[in-house]
Chains A and B, each alone.
Chain A
């Protein structure tokens, strides 16, 4: 296993910058998820690491080697693809053996390694089958096995679970996580599903528009998003972002909404607001950081319920506030009806404040 270092990585297609100055370090044995919406450059970044695309500028090292000019086969990587990319005419055994044959290993060693990998992934009984005779989950396991036999320095995984149905995805998610824990493997994992990234990765690199937005542990990214994009992308349901105005009342900073209401701020939040470049500030709050009241409470803001979505464990209520939709979770035994008058109380310690102009998180110091 080895670490991977990306230094100021750039990939352009003509005038279009697909990957923009991405620098990050994947430590030995770490599971890093590259996450972001379609077209954010995450798969391109993975292909650059694999060597399937030439880089425009920057540097990629795997282990202590700069691999910029090496062919994929010489980079000591293995890759797992979204569509499994198994060779359809070959049996499972031949699929697993293929990368070893390409390396011209002796036949008995190939046999030993293939059987070992099959045992690890519990598919010894599938070795004689053709890929089309396997289920999606089994095919993905074969793809994992084909990566495993190589004993590579780094595993690169390109949305390996996207083609599976929801139930199987959850199951394979824990299998891959277990795979990582058992092998202490260095894994770079691309996904557009933030839930996969949050649940599986040691660290996540959130990308958008070719730029690396934030690179940190899922807990940190969740608790301290650096900007509005990360805040809205990570977490489900998405964090509500409410555009507001700041003003000063009796010497204290307050926020006011389009409906004319005002919200007093804690001293910490007031300090944050004062650092905003303009008077426009965006309030961010996850559903669990907002309390719903059915009667007026001091500090709570009046709103009207818009839609109500019971999910069983918890009921999500959407309300319109200052032109934005706000998501609130309430226990299922509290009945809320559409168009009902409600009051929302924001948790001052758990709410986020963003600069309305730069969209960056506001910090007190």
Chain B
């Protein structure tokens, strides 16, 4: 049996363009067979949960009832979410958390990448040290940071008191005003090595001759960076920022372990909030509605990610 893919047959391919989509599918029927196992797995582990979540988002699931006795409420869950104060606070937190974490992680990573790009003694060791935050377990790191920030026994507080800068150790994660910035610091600390690695890889592709040409043209170090290096890093920067943004939007471990969203929801972001609604308060319907909204937002991110990727590919083909 010979698989009919039509690839080896130019006249038939031409004919195919004229015929309908069904005929095309029929001509390529063996190709579908090859991807069928993968499609089946995807349907079971991805498509069905998505369908079930959407379905669930239209029901009310009181904790007193079993899940199968859920009550259809139409779009009430969505209306309730969009009109609640908590929703807007959590959304604001998520936006601040995502933008600040992404921005600072990227800038810090860029600085580290540029510093490590130069030859100096101990570069390898320093590079290994800087990667540590990214490779250690996020759970362990969260617990350690929780202790570092601790208002009674924390290292930072002890140092500040010891230096005489303050009388009492500051409240980092027990105060509604400082908890989110404190968590962002941990998050940036944890993920800047990722940006650093991405940008270091990008820096290696900056053509040496271009930098030399700029030197001869009279550009100083900063001008060389601005006119040659940075434009060259544009694609890798776009991808890095998008990946960071998606990861930050989806963050769970650090806020959940360090504060559980508290105090008073001041450090709740979408994911922790959804988790608490679903698994803490058994409000499956509302949690599902939240998830659907989150899904839509992340799909938008995904669209830009794919566009950035294909955009850089198009440019590479042109060059």
A contact residues vs B (CB 8 Å cutoff) = 47, 50, 52, 71-73, 77-79, 81-83, 85, 87-90, 98-99, 102-103, 132-133, 146, 150
**B residues 59-101 in Cβ contact with A at 8 Å:** none
Once the chains bind, are A73 and B207 in contact (CB under 8 Å)?
no
Once the chains bind, are A88 and B217 in contact (CB under 8 Å)?
no
Q: Which of B2-10, B22-30, B148-156, B208-216 contacts A (4 or more CB under 8 A)?
A: B208-216
> Which 4 residue pairs across A and B have the least CB separation, nearest first?
A102-B218, A73-B218, A85-B213, A99-B217
Once the chains bind, are A81 and B223 in contact (CB under 8 Å)?
no
Once the chains bind, are A50 and B216 in contact (CB under 8 Å)?
yes
7 A-B residue pairings within 8 Å (CB atoms):
A50-B212, A81-B212, A83-B209, A98-B214, A99-B217, A132-B319, A146-B213
**B residues 219-251 in Cβ contact with A at 8 Å:** 219, 223, 227-228, 231-232, 234
Give every chain B residue within 8 A of A72 (Cβ-Cβ): 215-216, 218
The smallest C-beta distance from B294 to any residue of chain A, in angstroms, reads 36
The smallest C-beta distance from B226 to any residue of chain A, in angstroms, reads 11
Give every chain B residue within 8 A of A87 (Cβ-Cβ): 210, 214, 227-228, 231
Give every chain B residue within 8 A of A52 (Cβ-Cβ): 212, 215-216
**Given A88-B231, A98-B227, A132-B318: A73 touches B209 (CB 8 Å cut-off):** no
Once the chains bind, are A73 and B319 in contact (CB under 8 Å)?
no
The smallest C-beta distance from B85 to any residue of chain A, in angstroms, reads 46
Residue B216 contacts which of A78, A88, A133 (CB distance < 8 angstroms)? Answer: A78
A276 to B124: give the CA distance in the assembly, Å. 57
A87 to B228: give the CA distance in the assembly, Å. 7
Once the chains bind, are A85 and B319 in contact (CB under 8 Å)?
no
Give every chain A residue within 8 A of B318 (Cβ-Cβ): 132-133
Once the chains bind, are A103 and B218 in contact (CB under 8 Å)?
yes
Give every chain A residue within 8 A of B232 (Cβ-Cβ): 88
The smallest C-beta distance from B316 to any residue of chain A, in angstroms, reads 10
Give every chain A residue within 8 A of B215 (Cβ-Cβ): 52, 71-73
Once the chains bind, are B209 and A82 in contact (CB under 8 Å)?
yes
A44 to B217: give the CA distance in the assembly, Å. 19
The smallest C-beta distance from A227 to any residue of chain B, in angstroms, reads 33
Once the chains bind, are A88 and B319 in contact (CB under 8 Å)?
yes
A207 to B5: give the CA distance in the assembly, Å. 58
Residue B212 contacts which of A85, A88, A133, A150 (CB distance < 8 angstroms)? Answer: A85
A99 to B227: give the CA distance in the assembly, Å. 12
Residue A85 contacts which of B209, B227, B231, B234 (CB distance < 8 angstroms)? Answer: B209
A89 to B214: give the CA distance in the assembly, Å. 14
Give every chain B residue within 8 A of A102 (Cβ-Cβ): 217-219, 223
Residue A77 contacts which of B209, B216, B319 (CB distance < 8 angstroms)? Answer: B216
Residue on A nearest B230 in the bound complex, by CB: A89
Give every chain A residue within 8 A of B223 (Cβ-Cβ): 102
**Given A87-B228, A98-B227, A132-B318: A73 touches B210 (CB 8 Å cut-off):** no
Once the chains bind, are A83 and B207 in contact (CB under 8 Å)?
yes
Give every chain B residue within 8 A of A77 (Cβ-Cβ): 216
The smallest C-beta distance from B295 to any residue of chain A, in angstroms, reads 36
Once the chains bind, are A146 and B212 in contact (CB under 8 Å)?
no
Q: Which of A47, A102, A103, A150 has the most CB of B within 10 A?
A: A102
Give every chain B residue within 8 A of A132 (Cβ-Cβ): 315, 318-319
Residue on B nearest A89 in the bound complex, by CB: B231
Once the chains bind, are B218 and A85 in contact (CB under 8 Å)?
no
**Given A102-B219, A102-B223: A81 touches B319 (CB 8 Å cut-off):** no
**Given A87-B228, A88-B231, A102-B223: A73 touches B217 (CB 8 Å cut-off):** yes
The smallest C-beta distance from A19 to any residue of chain B, in angstroms, reads 18
The smallest C-beta distance from A148 to any residue of chain B, in angstroms, reads 13
Once the chains bind, are B218 and A99 in contact (CB under 8 Å)?
yes
The smallest C-beta distance from B248 to any residue of chain A, in angstroms, reads 28
Give every chain B residue within 8 A of A71 (Cβ-Cβ): 215
Give every chain A residue within 8 A of B216 (Cβ-Cβ): 50, 52, 72-73, 77-79, 99
Give every chain B residue within 8 A of A98 (Cβ-Cβ): 214, 217, 219, 227
Once the chains bind, are B213 and A79 in contact (CB under 8 Å)?
yes
The smallest C-beta distance from B289 to any residue of chain A, in angstroms, reads 45
A247 to B130: give the CA distance in the assembly, Å. 74
The smallest C-beta distance from A110 to any residue of chain B, in angstroms, reads 13
Give every chain A residue within 8 A of B212 (Cβ-Cβ): 47, 50, 52, 79, 81, 85
The smallest C-beta distance from A239 to any residue of chain B, in angstroms, reads 34
A186 to B159: give the CA distance in the assembly, Å. 66
Q: Which of A81, A85, A99 has the most CB of B within 10 A?
A: A85
Q: Which of B213, B215, B216, B218 has the most CB of A within 10 A?
A: B216
Residue on B nearest A146 in the bound complex, by CB: B217
Residue A81 contacts which of B209, B227, B228, B234 (CB distance < 8 angstroms)? Answer: B209
